[in-house]
């Protein structure tokens, strides 16, 4: 998926893709849902890669850890 490749490239982070049920689209970090396609995903309408990237970037910036290591989030 192009979003996974973009996350790897732009955020230099590990990405695992896991197939879910039909119409399911979720982005999780350490088990926490960061972005959820909701009911629209069932119809094939997914969040934009820009929206996903921003949500992941915001979550990582607020996290006290980066790549499993403590870092200064300020």
| pLDDT value of position 74 | 43
- Strand 69-70 and strand 32-36: the pairing is unpaired
Q: Residue for token digits 């790549």?
A: 67
Work out the angle between the directed axes of helices 2-11 and 49-62 (0-180°, nearest 10): 40
Per residue in 40-55, pLDDT (tens digit) is 988 989 899 999 999 9
Q: What is the pLDDT of residue 68?
A: 55
Residue 15's contacts (CB-CB under 8 Å, 6 or more residues apart) are 4, 7, 8
Counting as low any pLDDT under 50, the low residues of the chain are: 71-74
């Amino acid at each position: 998926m192009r979003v996974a490749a973009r996350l790897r490239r732009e955020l230099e982070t590990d990405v695992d893709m896991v197939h879910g049920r039909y119409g399911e689209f979720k982005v999780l970090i350490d088990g926490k849902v960061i972005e959820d396609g909701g009911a629209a995903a069932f119809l094939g309408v997914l969040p934009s890669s820009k929206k996903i990237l921003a949500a992941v970037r915001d979550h990582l910036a607020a996290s006290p850890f980066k790549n499993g290591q403590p870092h200064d989030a300020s």
